Amino acid sequence: MLFELREVGLDRGGRAVLDSFSAAIPEGATAIVGPSGVGKSTLLRLLNRLADPDRGEIFYRGRPLAEYEPLALRREVSLVPQLPALLEGTVESNLRYAAELAGEELDVEETLARAGLDPSFAGRDVAKLSVGEQQRAMLARALAQRPAVLLLDEPTSALDHVARDAVEATLARLRRESDLSLVLVSHDPEQARRLGDRVVEMPA
């Protein structure tokens, strides 16, 4: 089992944003669906220890998540947040930053191609990219670390239909061509079925 969550709860500002949530997430592609405000983004942040639960336990590959060193875990279980947040500079400098943190060799062209970007993006200033392009640059940056698991938070929420279909095709291809596991959060049940081998529903 990739992840196992037992009665997990998290409070923010005196309110439970996640309460007694249990789920098993195997290797492969798992889509998590549920209405907005149900704690889907919070759940992803718990899986790479950007936050720790107030209650319950989370296991990663059978071992308590709390036992993993957070920095090393985050390079292995990589989160692509809902809103793009690249560092100032070019797409390539962002990829390089990520690869160096993970101690990985970087093939810029190959990494861009895996995220569905052509090589001309390497030298582009991130401030001049569209939101959809930034989203893909974020995906490329995560892939530059050669993670074992990708956590994707609403990967297409800011995109139009054409861009959405392109990102979905990219994710499907990533699945086929590598043994990368995906955990993706979506408010759209259709997308969850298209991209996930399994769908986990979060109750409202």
Partner 1 sequence: MSTTSIHVELWQVAASLVLVALAAAISRWQRADLERDILVATGRSIVQLTLVGYAIKLIFEADTIWLVLALLAVMVFFGAVTARHRADKVPDSFGPLLIALALAGASTLGLVVALGIFDPTPRYLVPVGGMVIGNAMTASAVALNRLGDEMADARARIEATLALGATAREAAAPIVRRALRSGMITLVDSTKTTGLIFFPGTMVGMLLAGASPTDAVRLQLILLYTLLGSVSISALVATLLAYRHFFTPAAQLREL
Q: Which H or E element spans position 10?
A: strand 3-12
- Whole-number minimum distance, CB 99 to partner 1, in Å? 10
- Whole-number minimum distance, CB 128 to partner 1, in Å? 17
Using DSSP, state whether 200 is helix, strand or coil: strand
How far is Cα 66 from Cα 63, in angstroms, rounded to an integer? 9
* Beta carbon nearer to partner 1, 72 or 169: 72
* Beta carbon nearer to partner 1, 81 or 196: 81
- Whole-number minimum distance, CB 40 to partner 1, in Å? 16
Name the residue with tokens 């893909």: 136
* Beta carbon nearer to partner 1, 24 or 54: 54
Contact, 195 vs 142, CB < 8 A? no
Q: Which DSSP state fits 65? A: G
Question: Are β-strands 29-33 and 181-186 bridged in parallel, bridged antiparallel, or unpaired?
Answer: parallel
- Whole-number minimum distance, CB 140 to partner 1, in Å? 12
SS (H, E, C) 99-146: HHHHCCCCCHHHHHHHCCCCHHHCCCEHHHCCHHHHHHHHHHHHHCCC
- Whole-number minimum distance, CB 51 to partner 1, in Å? 6
* Beta carbon nearer to partner 1, 16 or 72: 72
Residues of the shown chain interacting with partner 1 in the complex, contacts defined by CB under 8 A:
12-13, 45, 48-52, 70-75, 78-79, 81, 83, 85-88, 97-98, 101-102, 138, 141-142, 145
* Beta carbon nearer to partner 1, 30 or 145: 145
- Whole-number minimum distance, CB 145 to partner 1, in Å? 7
How far is Cα 173 from Cα 182, in angstroms, rounded to an integer? 12
* Beta carbon nearer to partner 1, 24 or 51: 51
